Structure 1
Amino acid sequence: MKKSFILLFLSLALFSHQEKVVAQTLNASTAQELQDAIAEAKAGNEIVLQNGVWKDIQIKFYGEGTVDKPIILRAETPGKVSIEGVSNLKLGGKYLVVRDLHFKNGYTPSNSVIQFKINEDSIANHSRITNCVIDEFTQPNREVSDHWIEFWGRNNQLDHSSIVGKSNFGPTVRVFLKGNEHVNNHHQIVYNHFGPRPRKGGPHGETLQIGSSHTSMTPSYTNVSNNFFDRCNGEVEIISNKSNFNEYRNNIFFESEGSLVLRHGNYCTIDGNVFIGNDDSEFIGGIRVINTGHWITNNYFYKIKGNEFRSALAVMNGIPKSPLNRYNQVTDVVVAYNTYIDCKSPFQFGVGTNIDKKDVLPASEIRSARPERMLLANNLVYNHKEDQYPIVNYDDVGGVTFKNNILNSENKSGVTSDGISTKVFEVKQVSEDLYIPTKNQEDVFHGFDFETIKSDLFGADRQKQNSIGAISLPVSGNQVLVQKNLYGSKWFSTEASNYTPKTIAVSSAKSLISKLKNAHSGDILSLKSGVYKINTTLLIDKNITITSSDKDKKAELRFATGITGFEMHPKGILNLENISIKGDKTQDAIVTLDKNMSKAFNLFIKNTEISKFKSVIKAYKASFADTIAIDNSNIKDCLTGILLNTETDAKGDYNAEFVFITNSTFDQVQSSVLNYYRGGYDESTIGGNLVLKNNTFTNSGQADESGLLIQNHGIVNVIFSDNTFRDNPVKEIAILWGEKGQKPVNNVTENSGEIRIEQNLKQKLMY
């Protein structure tokens, strides 16, 4: 017995020793030590990166952990290890965990920043990225494509991470299904903070893409739940679903200019999501439906003001015998128990219909396949204003069945059904963005398989309390839709700094150059009246206002021969107010960098005179302005005007999202006053925005070969009103795109050619 006790003691001691070995920590302070630690690591080991900057490092993290004893790669202190420069991270093996890392001040040399694959022979499975941050880790050239996170393999997870500020070509996160080892993957994308993602100015700016058109009939089973999509404005698709059997549950889409798009693939579940818009943007969307078998339930939509592709529920017509990369017919889709509050037109059917465009598009492109066997039931629509149109149909909706849908306003559409009724009911506001009914609407429709819809938006049991709409009463607790502390990394914040801008007095050219260089973002440079002779280009890489201290006596910036006026850098914001800028026709007034414009710039010109320049604004290829606004300003005696025309390769990109030219005069601009170009056409993208209103154009355009004073080729949204065109020796003032509703309103033309409307503008389809 004593011998047995000794053996037991020795075995326990040995087991304890083995546990200590397995749980050992491997510290790394250099790239070589990290490489050695990864090679040495066993199941249960932790590899700890020393606090500090790890620059120009490509980490290949491989190993074989177990479900109970993963191999962990982590920061010494969460958020204190930054991966910078030309760097990336690849994982291969199983049960690997990476946490607490911060990717910033750099970009990846490969296709991805983090990739669940080292190569075809080393793929990650059962692995996890958690509590990490990728912050503006974007390519210097916006046209270079990459993905910040690539999912390969099976059963991998991204959670509690913050993914912010991607501005270059390519989805932020992409799930690949190329090969049997990557299908039926059951990946988890949960509790992350995505965004803000700035506008890209064209396609391929999705936040998530699950699959591709080529693998769209493949089962993925990816779960995207409990994430915060915060102002994800990259393009029209926030999420692009392109595979089967995926789930999108309990996500918040906050003021994101796009939609959750069921672009390809079938049998997805979209349940318990919240879509929050505002009164200022018609680009904020909800859910766009294509393909078969989706269930869209318990979702809440607030102030979604978009039309067609960006409506709260956009149901597309399909293309008969559609190729994989186009639009399949909507069939067997259920939309039930959703709530729509103050949405302009929540239900839109036949979106993308091209029936009357047979002279423009080939037969394969005509979307004549209407929804079939689609059910809308138990949906609640409430609008505080009577001017909303709950239902819009661009085509016949005979294949849609309506059951027990309640509106509080008149149904002004041509869609009538016993399943759509107007009823007096009230809602009350219980928190920001959240309205709930004051009384349950209990006359619910019990459809086939509706017993599988077990709970409402807030998890209440529908077997015990059931009501039309996403919310059943009583609502437990003080429900708040947006709780930012639930999402993303705990140690990282996207909140702006508390810096208070300063007004800085400037009295000489030398002082202007010096103080501009040393100013903080948001500062105002106030110039004393007089002439400032500038012999160097002024670089704008922050938010700067340049104005005159005496509004009645504008300060004049006079640039030396051949010296460019202002050079816009990534994230530069230039506000010019109440000043005069002069050249000698040998230089450009405002230009972008000719390369490495990794992020957007903004330009605001107000009460300003610009004269005697070769060009007023010149954007190089791959540069992008979020907004260019010229108001109450005078542009005169320049060789050419505003050049936003370098994206000519028919990929759908353009040089500026919003161009506002208002209350201004243009005189003696020899070539086109504006050349705003979008090459390549995908009708679902925003496609640029031009407002040309209340301006006067005289003696301009004589030297332009196109014979056009205003060129806006391919720009989708155009307001062209209240302008005066006098003595401009051009054949045509502009060509407007009639199909997009563009038309001149209240313009005056004298000796200046005509404003022509071309109904079906010829555009090269991107597909």
Structure 2
Amino acid sequence: MAICQIKLKPNIIKVHNSAELTDAISKANAGDNIVMANGIWKDVQIKFYGKGTKEQPIILKAETTGKVTIEGVSNLQLGGDYLEVMNLHFKNGHTPTGSVIQFKINDETIANYSKVTNCVIEEFTQPNREVSDHWVELWGKHNQLDHCNIIGKSNFGPTVRVFLTGNKNINNHHQIIFNHFGPRPRKGGPHGETIQIGDSETSMTPSYTNVSNNYFEHCNGEVEVISNKSNFNEYRNNIFFESEGSLVLRHGNYCTIDGNVFIGNDSSEFIGGIRVINTGHWITNNYFYNLKGKEFRSALAVMNGIPKSPLNRYMQVTDVVVANNTFIDCVSPFQFSVGVNIDKKTVLPASEIRSERPERMVVANNMVYNHKEDNYPIVAYDKVDGVTFKKNVFNNVNKSNISNDGIITRDFQVKKLSEYLYVPTKNQEDAYKGFDFEKISTDIFGADRTKQNSIGAITIPVIDPTLINKKLYGTNWFSTNSPHYNAKIIQVATNKELLSQLEKSHSGDILSLKSGIYEITSALVINKHITIISVNSKNKAQLQFKGEKAVFEMHPKGVLNLENVILKGDKTQEAFTTLAKNMSQAYDLFIKNTEISDFKSVIKSYKASFADTISINNCVIKNCLNGIELNKETDDGGDYNAEFVYIKNSKFDNIQSTVLDYYRGGYDESTIGGNLVLQNNTFTNCGTDDKSGILIHNQGIVNVDFSNNTFKNNPVRDIAILWGEKGQKPVNNTISNSGQIRIEESLKQKLMY
């Protein structure tokens, strides 16, 4: 006899304010739907608790999908069983606590079997970038985050954090699926992961978290896009698109990394793939395309361990399988013993010497193809005697520094099936069948491998060559595409017009200044993308400033393009400065064909401010007391005030103190580490009042191009001190009566750990 199941109609409770919402939650029973009325809910701290069932969860949702925005100082906490939150949009605010959405109300009221779905967290970031929080905290067991868009976190702390503290939170089987993460902007320091599962202290506990079918787009917070710090997690079928970092198996063991796609580009050397530490991982069926990263950011980076390593450092790589992966046009697909202190020059304590090579590691059935011959398929910084190579096929291994019978050079071809996707013209069928490889029964697209042998991530024929389908990820209602705006060219002829038009202009507009003198006594606020340019490049507009206010005040998300302008001060103001506090997001500054003179400082940054890019090109900068000050992050925690600093084709004359002070303190590997390009400049009569005796400070900055500059009559001891271990060296510089450029081969760095 068939049993007829009666589906109960949900009890719908519509609420219009915080008081009604709190009351409805307190009275909610299994099957109730609490509906938040459309509109802005500002300064609300929601505690959503109750006991639903699998068949009848308690649901909290928007009246209309996407029409309920949570703004101001707000957050959401869940506690209980079978709770569901859907269709909410967090924007224009920040959390008052350590998380925006937390699957826990307190240590006694933790969420289980609950989920947050079809929601958006958009730039819900702290006003002060130094304040740490998480946007989603997963506690308890069997919880789910799915089909959400999570965008624009710029302050300290991982975007999503899984906690494993206590028995209530281990063996959790959380599901993080079908979400769209990013962009996450560069942070200029560590603690910018997109997902972190566990931490050092709980890294040996079982988590069983599943991170699958997510899209990571431009997640550039730091070197670890995902930081695995627990056991038995799975990472399947995720897309990592132009994200400046890697999926990092930082701590923990026995993880599965299968079917993921890593897409790079030609312009960034910081986009990585997978970094391997610890024991028992299976890395299979992954596709790596056009990755330019090296060492920590190489397509596959296998690290050396530290003997008797504490939990928070680097365990030895053992019993790891890397099989059936495909690498197309990657600069250096395999790098082994990354982090080893080969040169013996960097001064590190014994506890930091990474000397334990990988053991019992199997690398088999991988395919590597490079269209160019200038790539280095395998780089080993130490012996690879603990690695077994079997049936790996390369089209070019001439420049690798190891040889092995399991590394086969073969002339084969690939063809392009869709954007970013290259596959072999025929299957390479001499696959290695040993070591329990029958577990790899399908390829990256789910095709059955048992019907035919093949190496690499892809067997042919490919039924559907679609590599990226953005419609699968995130909500079905939110888009990051801004409405199209036709930028305007706005003619400006007077002081008053300059101030008023700057305030009224839209992002993207161009203020075109007629020739003449503009006397300015208040700061020009840059809080959008704006261009200021002279109409006549041969008769430039001149901005004369009086009073102690800075000339240009850079605000969060401000972008200034300044071209063909003369800036003149009276040595009481900064030409460019940031806000002293609440610089929640990065700014950008591009200065071209401009003359800057008679200022107290050229650029002055404040603590917690961050510029993604500062570019000075073909400018004349003279008669200033101080130069460019990017030196306020002095906590030595790895943070710094700008990511990219380009100074090219410019003349510096009579800058009385340091011309550039660009500082990063703390020895860490979690960031790009700063970039300085100093090319084709002339420095004359600078540093006369500098007490340090150094004209250009670049302490701790990792990437430095110091070339084709001229130094004349600068009364300093040192022009600059370059970091030898990072390959920094001066090239084609001309020096006359200006001290020397030193290379420091044993730079002592303060460890952060």
Whichever residue aligns with residue 690 of structure 1, its letter is L
1:127 Cα offset (Å): 0.2
CA contact (8 A) 2:346 2:746 kept: no
Is the Cα–Cα contact under 8 Å of residues 56 and 86 in structure 1 kept in the other structure?
yes
Q: Match for residue 716 of structure 1?
A: 702
How far did residue 355 of structure 1 move? Answer: 4.3
User: Which of 45, 48, 57 matches 1:61?
Assistant: 48
Task: Return the match for 2:84 from 97, 106, 112.
Answer: 97
Q: How many angstroms apart in 2 are the aligned matches of 1:563 and 1:216? A: 51
CA offset at residue 702 of structure 1?
Answer: 1.3
User: In structure 2, what is the equivalent of residue 111 of structure 1?
Assistant: 98
Q: Which residue of 1 aligns with 2:177?
A: 190
Candidates 141, 157, 173, aligned match of 2:128: 141
User: 1:87: which partner in 2?
Assistant: 74
- SS of the residue aligned with 2:507? coil
1:501-523 Cα deviation digits (max 9, x unpaired)? 11110001100000000101011
The amino acid that maps onto 1:707 is G
2:304 equivalent to 1:314: no
Distance 2:593 2:352 in 1: 48
Following TM superposition, by how much is the alpha carbon of 1:172 offset from its aligned partner in structure 2, in angstroms? 0.1
Please point out which of 603, 609, 619 is paired with 1:623: 609
Task: Name the SS for the 2:185 alignment partner.
Answer: coil
Instruction: Note if contact 1:311-1:346 (Cα within 8 Å) is conserved in structure 2.
Output: yes
Indicate the residue corresponding to 1:52 in structure 2: 39
The gaps in structure 2 that reach 5 residues or longer are none
**Code of the aligned partner of 1:410:** V
Q: Give 1:217-228 correspondences, 5 Å limit.
A: 217-228=204-215
Pair 1:536 & 2:516 matched: no
Letter in 2 for 1:437: P
Q: Percent identity?
A: 72
After superposition, the C-alpha distances for 1:690-744 in whole angstroms (9 at most, x for unaligned) are 0001000000011111110000011010010000000001011000000000000
Partner in structure 2 of residue 344 of structure 1: 331
Paired residue type of 1:304: L
Q: How does 1:628-667 map to 2 (within 5 A)?
A: 628-667=614-653
Q: How far apart in 1 are the matches of 2:547 and 2:345?
A: 55
For the 8 Å contact 1:728–1:751, the answer to whether it is kept is yes
Q: Once the two structures are superposed, what CA deviation does each residue of 1:416-464 show, in whole Å capped at 9, x if it has no partner?
A: 1110011011111111101111100000001222111111010001111
Question: Aligned letter for 1:485?
Answer: K
Give the 5 Å matches for 1:355-434: 355-357=342-344, 360-434=347-421
Superimposed CA distance per residue, residues 146-178 of structure 1 (whole angstroms, 9 cap, x where no aligned partner): 000000000000000000000000000000000
CA contact (8 A) 2:345 2:745 kept: no
Determine the C-alpha separation between the residues in 2 that align with 1:499 and 1:602.
Answer: 20
Change (3 A) 1:437 1:359: closer
CA distance in 1, matches of 2:738, 2:384: 47
Aligned to 2:280: 293
Determine the C-alpha separation between the residues in 1 that align with 2:423 and 2:136: 37
Quick check: 1:391–1:411 contact (8 Å CA) kept in 2?
no
Given residue 734 of structure 1, which amino acid in structure 2 is its aligned partner? A
Give the superposition deviation at 1:618: 0.5
Task: Assess if the C-alpha contact under 8 Å between 1:355 and 1:368 holds in 2.
Answer: no
8 Å CA contact retained: 1:256, 1:285: yes
Deviation at 1:535, TM superposition (A): 1.6
Note if contact 2:104-2:140 (Cα within 8 Å) is conserved in structure 1.
Answer: yes
Partner SS, residue 453 of structure 2 = coil
Deviation at 1:51, TM superposition (A): 0.2
**Aligned equivalents of 1:322, 1:374: Cα separation in 2:** 19
Q: Distance in 2 between matches of 1:47 and 1:684?
A: 43
TM-score (norm 2): 0.99
- Mean Cα deviation higher: 236-245 or 442-451: 442-451
Look up the equivalent residue of 1:262 and give its one-letter code. Answer: L
Query: Which amino acid in the other structure matches residue 511 of structure 2?
Result: L
Instruction: Select the residue among 464, 486, 496 that pairs with 1:510.
Output: 496
Aligned to 1:510, the other structure's residue is in SS state helix
**Shift of the alpha carbon at 1:466?**
3.1
Tell me the CA shift for residue 551 of structure 1.
1.2
How far does residue 356 in structure 1 lie from its aligned partner after superposition?
4.0
Note the alpha carbon deviations across 1:653-688, whole angstroms, 9 max, x for none: 000000000000000000000000011111342110
**Separation of aligned partners in 2, 1:172 and 1:149:** 7
CA RMSD of aligned residues (A): 1.1
- Cα deviation digits, residues 307-347 of structure 1 (max 9, x gap): 10000000000000001000000000000000000000100
- Do 2:219 and 2:243's aligned partners in 1 also have CA atoms closer than 8 Å? yes
Aligned counterpart, 1:6: none
SS at match of 2:512: strand
- Does structure 1 conserve the Cα–Cα contact (< 8 Å) formed by 2:248 and 2:274? yes
Q: Counterparts of 1:410-489 in structure 2 under 5 Å? A: 410-477=397-464, 479-489=465-475
Name 1:8's counterpart in structure 2.
none
Residue in structure 1 matching 2:231, options 244, 247, 254:
244
Query: How do 1:460-609 residues align onto structure 2 when only pairs under 5 Å count?
Result: 460-477=447-464, 479-609=465-595
Write out per-residue CA displacement over residues 481-514 of structure 1, whole angstroms, 9 at most, x where no aligned residue.
1111110011111124311211110001100000
Residue of 720, 727, 735 corresponding to 2:713: 727
Residue 230 of structure 1 pairs with residue 217 of structure 2 = yes
Contact residue 75 and residue 99 of structure 1 kept, 8 A: yes
Write the distance in 2 (CA, Å) between the matches of 1:465 and 1:31. 61
C-alpha distance 485-359 of structure 1, shift in aligned 2 (>3 A): closer
Does residue 170 of structure 2 align to residue 207 of structure 1? no
Asked whether the equivalents of residues 634 and 666 of structure 1 are also in contact (C-alpha less than 8 Å), the reply is: yes
Question: d(CA) in 2 for partners of 1:677 and 1:388?
Answer: 32
Distance in 1 (CA, whole Å) between partners of 2:324 and 2:615 is 43
Give the structure 1 partner of residue 268 of structure 2.
281
Q: 1:333 maps to what in 2?
A: 320
For the residues of structure 2 that align with 1:439 and 1:363, how far apart are their CA atoms? 50
How far off is 1:579 after superposition? 0.4
SS at match of 1:93: strand
Distance in 1, matches of 2:222 and 2:670, equals 9
1:234-260 per-residue CA deviation (whole Å, 9 max, x = no partner) reads 000000000000000000000000000
Q: Distance in 2 between matches of 1:681 and 1:576?
A: 35
Between 1:269-278 and 1:354-363, the stretch displaced more is 354-363
- 1:527-548 residue CA offsets vs partner (Å, 9 max, x unmatched): 0000000121100000000000
Q: CA deviation at 1:410?
A: 3.1
Letter in 1 for 2:353: I
Confirm or deny: 8 A CA contact 1:309 1:684 kept in the other structure.
Answer: no
Change over 3 Å in CA distance of 1:267–1:37 after alignment to 2: same
The list of structure 1 runs, each at least 4 consecutive aligned residues, that deviate by more than 4 angstroms after superposition, is none
How far apart, CA to CA, are the structure 2 residues paired with 1:500 and 1:397? 57
Does residue 702 of structure 1 match 2:654?
Answer: no
Q: Deviations over 1:556-594 (max 9, x none)?
A: 011112221000000000110000101000000000000
Show structure 1 runs of 5+ residues with no match.
1-11
8 Å contact 2:141–2:168 — kept in the other structure? Answer: yes
What is the count of residue pairs matched by the alignment? 750
CA contact (8 A) 2:521 2:545 kept: yes
Q: Residue type of the partner of 1:161?
A: C
Question: Does structure 1 residue 689 correspond to structure 2 residue 694?
Answer: no
- The answer on whether the counterparts of 1:247 and 1:269 sit within 8 Å (CA) in structure 2 is yes
